[in-house]
């Protein structure tokens, strides 16, 4: 028995002798794409938002080469003429009118200003006549509160002596800009995105300006804005809506959450898909007011902020619960810039009970699967 055991051990030792290894194959180094992960405001949105770091996986001599850019433009092209959900019928024009009327009764009338003025006391979202300034303000507002983005903008202005000293910002480098906007959150990523956009603008046009987009068509302006690193449909749409004063329906966290609760989009639609869908469904005359009203409502309505399902005290949600709205009569949609009220007697800031009942009278009895409480 001892002899056998010894033989086994010897044999085992021989089997562990190293065999000649093939020469390792050389593989090119790949630069990993760095991603900053942040939580969004609402539990109803996707739990995480990824913001690409534009300095990662880019060659210094090819600033416009980007797989992400190609994907953005491909998605835009695919949805230029139709919704990504062509068989999803909501919202109807009548539903948009009803939502506008109810929200106006709660939050007051929202009309587009006749002139865009760059505020010196807040960052805003696209609020500047300068397209480049509007774009930078909107980037500062990404994934943060109005108060934080305003702090970042005011700090940036103090450091560089104004909101449009683009050359000083570029020459100061990323570290200085990051420190200047640190109080706004995500400063590392946002500073790199801003510098990347400034460099791309200068390389393309020879100046730090995108004001030529004022004379471009809406589709051309959207395509141009999406071609910049770090600019997605929401950011581009805000610039279109507020700076360029185009009829575009921007979808932020509040809009995405509330329209989901109203049944205006498929349950699992992403924010970008929701933008392309609602931009086709909502009448142009209502896009500005409805966007501002949804954002205002999303900030103060406790039921909508929490994404509460089932029984709710929200007047807007009550009107849409288990209901399908008839198609709107043509006369309900009126001239651009005016409120689509049916009678002149209706107040701009309050809606009477009779008016609410009139709007509810358009609701068809019955429950449809595509519009219900999630």
pLDDT tens across 161-199, in order? 887 899 999 999 999 999 999 999 899 999 999 999 999
192 is a catalytic site residue: no
Determine the average pLDDT of the residues in 99-107: 95
311: pLDDT confidence band, cut at 50, 70 and 90? low
User: Confidence band (pLDDT; 50, 70, 90) for 298?
Assistant: very high
Residue with token string 């805000």: 238
Three-state DSSP class for residue 340: coil
Local structure of 270: helix, strand or coil? coil
Question: Using 50, 70 and 90 to split pLDDT, how confident is the model at 300?
Answer: very high
> Rounded to whole angstroms, what are the CA distances from 175 to 16, 169, 192?
54, 11, 9
Paired tokens of 32: 């990993």
How far CA 38 is from CA of 33, 34, 228, 342, 350, in Å, comes to 16, 13, 21, 44, 39
Kindly give, in sequence order, each residue whose CB lies less than 8 Å from that of residue 262, ignoring residues fewer than 6 positions away.
Answer: 91, 95, 99, 316, 317, 320, 371
Q: What is the pLDDT of residues 228-285, one digit of tens each?
A: 988 999 999 999 999 999 999 999 999 999 999 999 999 999 999 999 999 999 999 9
User: Rounded to 10 degrees, what is the CA torsion of 340, 295, 153, 130?
Assistant: -30
DSSP for 32-66 reads: PPPEEEEE-S-TTS-SEEEEE-TTTT--TT-TT--
**Which CA distances in Å does 316 have to 81, 92, 182, 268, 323?**
30, 16, 38, 22, 12
Tell me which residue has tokens 């471009």: 216
Provide, rounded to the nearest whole percent, the portion of the chain with pLDDT above 90.
52
CA–CA dist 286, 102 (Å, integer): 13
Report if pTM > 0.75: no
Specify the higher pLDDT residue, 295 or 40.
295
Among the listed residues 190, 234, 281, 305, the single catalytic one is 234
Taking residues 127-150, report their average pLDDT.
92
* Percentage above 70 pLDDT, the chain: 64
The full set of domains in the chain, from first to last, is 68-112+246-325 (1.10.1670.10), 114-244 (1.10.340.30)
């Amino acid at each position: 028995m001892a002899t056998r055991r010894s033989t086994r051990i010897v044999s085992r030792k021989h089997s562990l002798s190293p065999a000649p290894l093939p020469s390792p194959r050389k593989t090119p180094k790949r630069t990993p794409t760095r991603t900053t992960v942040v939580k969004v405001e609402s539990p109803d949105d996707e739990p995480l938002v990824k913001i690409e770091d534009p300095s990662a996986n880019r060659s210094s001599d090819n600033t416009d080469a980007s797989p992400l850019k190609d994907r953005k433009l491909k998605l835009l092209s695919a949805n230029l003429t139709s919704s990504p959900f062509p068989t999803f019928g909501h919202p109807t024009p009548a539903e948009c009118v009803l939502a506008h009327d109810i929200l106006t009764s709660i939050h007051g009338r929202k009309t587009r200003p006749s002139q865009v003025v760059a505020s010196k006391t807040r960052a805003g979202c696209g609020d500047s006549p300068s397209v480049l300034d509007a774009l930078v303000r909107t980037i500062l507002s990404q994934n943060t509160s109005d108060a934080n983005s305003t702090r970042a903008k005011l700090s940036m202005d103090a450091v560089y002596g104004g909101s449009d000293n683009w050359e000083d910002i570029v020459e100061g480098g990323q570290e200085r800009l990051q420190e200047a906007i640190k109080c706004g959150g995500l400063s590392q990523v946002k500073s790199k995105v801003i510098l990347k956009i400034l460099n791309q603008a200068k390389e393309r046009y020879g100046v730090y300006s995108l004001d030529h987009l004022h004379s471009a068509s809406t589709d051309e302006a959207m395509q141009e804005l999406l071609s910049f690193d770090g600019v997605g449909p929401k950011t581009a749409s805000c610039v279109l809506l507020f700076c360029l004063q185009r009829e575009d329906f921007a979808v932020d966290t509040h809009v995405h959450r509330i329209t989901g609760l109203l049944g205006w989009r498929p349950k699992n639609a992403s924010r970008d898909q929701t933008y392309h869908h609602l931009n086709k469904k909502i009448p142009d005359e209502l896009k500005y007011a409805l966007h501002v009203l949804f954002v205002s409502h999303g900030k103060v309505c406790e039921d909508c902020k929490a994404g509460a399902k089932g029984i709710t005290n929200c007047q807007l949600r009550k009107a849409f619960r288990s209901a399908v709205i008839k198609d709107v009569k043509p006369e309900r949609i009126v001239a651009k810039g005016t409120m689509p009220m049916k009678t002149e007697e209706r107040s701009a800031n309050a809606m009477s009970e009779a008016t609410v009942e009139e709007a509810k009278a358009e609701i068809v009895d019955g429950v449809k699967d595509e519009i219900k409480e999630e």
